Amino acid sequence: MSKFIFITGGVVSSLGKGITAASIGQILKSRGLKVFMQKFDPYINVDPGTMSPYQHGEVFVTADGAETDLDLGHYERFIDENLSKHSSVTTGKIYQAVIEKERKGLYNGATIQVIPHITNEIIDRLKKAAKTSNADIIITEIGGTVGDIESLPYLEAIRQARREFGYHKTLYIHNTLVPYLKAAKEIKTKPTQHSVSELKSLGIQPDILVLRSEQKISEEAKEKIARFSDLKRNKVFESLDVDVIYQLILSLKEQKIDEAILKHFRMNKIQEAKLNEWEVLVDKIRHLDKVVNIAIVGKYVQLHDAYLSVVESLNHAGFKHGVKVEINWVDAENVNNENVKEILSSSNGIIIPGGFGKRATEGKITAINYARINNIPMLGICYGMQLTLVEYARNVLGIKDAHTIEVNKNTSNPIFIKNIDNKKRLGAHTITLKENTKINNIYNTNNILERHRHRYFFNKKYEEIFLNDNNIVLSAYSQNNDILEAVELKEHKFFVAVQYHPEFISRPLKPHPLFLSFIESIIK
């Protein structure tokens, strides 16, 4: 049976529980264990798919088509494993499932309550994750902070999980803040003491503490916290601010957090961790001596997390090529023909990311036009591909009112239209690349598997018009040849746009080929 690690947070939000969870996941995976990760989110939305990116950052899509919290992106990038719909659990999903069962009479007329029905449903999600993943260890992050009313059913469920699964098959890690007061020049342990006390009042005795701090925590302070928390000193670990995020993997390993975990689980004769590649990567990142500036022209640029996976993918490619990527955040709503040169002339490359809706599309089209005409490397993603074809249709093929019907439902020349069943296309799909095209050379294969999140499709009525042009290439289609997946220009330094989201499968140690080629076109 799988072992379960539950990670809770205390004192304040944004402590980096997700990064802590992912780092522990990578350490355990490097020891030869199969790891699967989950996020329990206390919001009542069923999933983030209909939430504004301003509310919750990007929507990360798993290979099986689940629209999830951006933390799953962190998990996948750190542990280099594809997660699934069983990784993303929200209060909305839990209540929806319970209500559907009640409507079908599956509770035999019982009064439905938080305990046991909601908590049982939460525990059932743990069991499903274990069964479907067949993992040695399931790491589950509990969203929110101990003390939040929204998180109480999850905390009660993981409390019950120890009773059901057993002491040595469940492990509680509490991630909490140890602030440093500059005026007093002191580390303060009281907030952590209160947080642990509150967790214990809910029936959960943490087995391990991970202390987040800006300053190194003294042995005396750690001993004080351990004593108050009824823990041995060797169960208290620190998570200091780091200049490179992946350093946390190495730091927690150096403190031997994995030994504490495996000892609790009574898992013996497990191979030693192999983290050499991460050590090399961290050292390389610290010595990047060249800089490239990439403009991300989007509609949610005020919240950078809305394009988190795109930024991470650019960074991965930059690491590989030995360059630091700096982002020029460009609000597409403010871009027009008069100022586009001023806004973009200092950038070495341009990304047109995904997004839904009408707002800011003309600014994106203007940026695409600027990149095309001035031979500036450009990568269009999802909506970015749609608008790339709209720009080309208007300005090269002479189809003046060309547009996607997502923006203009009354256009007489809809380059992109809705699919028949009006559903979003989600998850991983096989794509066939045309031979002897740029994208074919980039991937060095004829078939690829990429993740999608879109609801509009290229109108094949215009296919022949594009195919008759000598410069633009419709270079990739879905496996059934019914959906256009990529376009490119022959006469251009780098001008590629894809319908899918390559950023979802890029990894720090395995940068995505498209981002690698994009950065390479800038620095060569």
**pLDDT value at position 404?**
92
**pLDDT value at position 50?**
87
**pLDDT value at position 408?**
87
Tell me the per-residue pLDDT of 455-514, one tens digit each, with 9 for 90 and over: 999 999 999 999 999 999 999 999 888 899 999 999 999 999 999 999 999 999 999 999
Q: Which position among 316, 429, 501, 512 bears the catalytic label? A: 501
Q: Please report which helix (H) or strand (E) contains residue 399, including its range.
A: none
**pLDDT value at position 298?**
96
**Spatial separation of the C-alpha atoms in residues 140 and 224, rounded to whole Å:** 28
Query: Are 381 and 353 a contacting pair, CB within 8 Å?
Result: yes
485-499 per-residue burial string, b: 16 or more CB within 10 A, e: under 16: bbbbbeebebbbbbb
Instruction: Select from 406, 410, 408, 383 the least CA-distant residue to 499.
Output: 383
Q: 503 catalytic, yes or no?
A: yes
* Beta strand ranges found along 10-147 (DSSP E): 35-41, 60-61, 67-68, 88-90, 137-142
**Spatial separation of the C-alpha atoms in residues 396 and 139, rounded to whole Å:** 52
Q: Could you tell me which residues come within 8 angstroms of residue 111 by beta carbon, excluding any fewer than 6 positions away?
A: none
Tell me the per-residue pLDDT of 369-406, one tens digit each, with 9 for 90 and over: 999 999 999 999 999 999 999 999 999 999 989 999 98
**Spatial separation of the C-alpha atoms in residues 177 and 258, rounded to whole Å:** 21
480-484 contacts at long range (C-beta below 8 A, 24 or more positions apart): 481/432, 483/425, 483/457, 483/458, 484/457, 484/458, 484/460
Q: Please identify every stretch of the chain with a pLDDT value under 50, giving residue numbers as ranges.
A: none
Cis peptide before 42 (omega within 30 of 0): no
Which pTM was predicted?
A: 0.94
**pLDDT value at position 286?**
96
Tokens representing residue 241 in the block: 């601010």
Q: 382 catalytic, yes or no?
A: yes
**Spatial separation of the C-alpha atoms in residues 265 and 296, rounded to whole Å:** 45
**Spatial separation of the C-alpha atoms in residues 484 and 423, rounded to whole Å:** 17
**pLDDT value at position 420?**
63
DSSP letter (8 states) at residue 172: E
Q: Could you tell me which residues come within 8 angstroms of residue 368 by beta carbon, excluding any fewer than 6 positions away?
A: 350, 352, 378, 380, 384, 387, 388, 391
Q: Which position among 76, 238, 488, 503 bears the catalytic label? A: 503
**pLDDT value at position 227?**
95
Question: How many C-beta atoms lie closer than 10 Å to residue 43's C-beta?
Answer: 17
Tokens representing residue 400 in the block: 């003046």
Q: Which position among 156, 382, 403, 512 bears the catalytic label? A: 382
Question: How many C-beta atoms lie closer than 10 Å to residue 343's C-beta?
Answer: 20
**pLDDT value at position 426?**
95
Instruction: Select from 381, 521, 517 the least CA-distant residue to 451.
Output: 381
Q: 403 catalytic, yes or no?
A: no
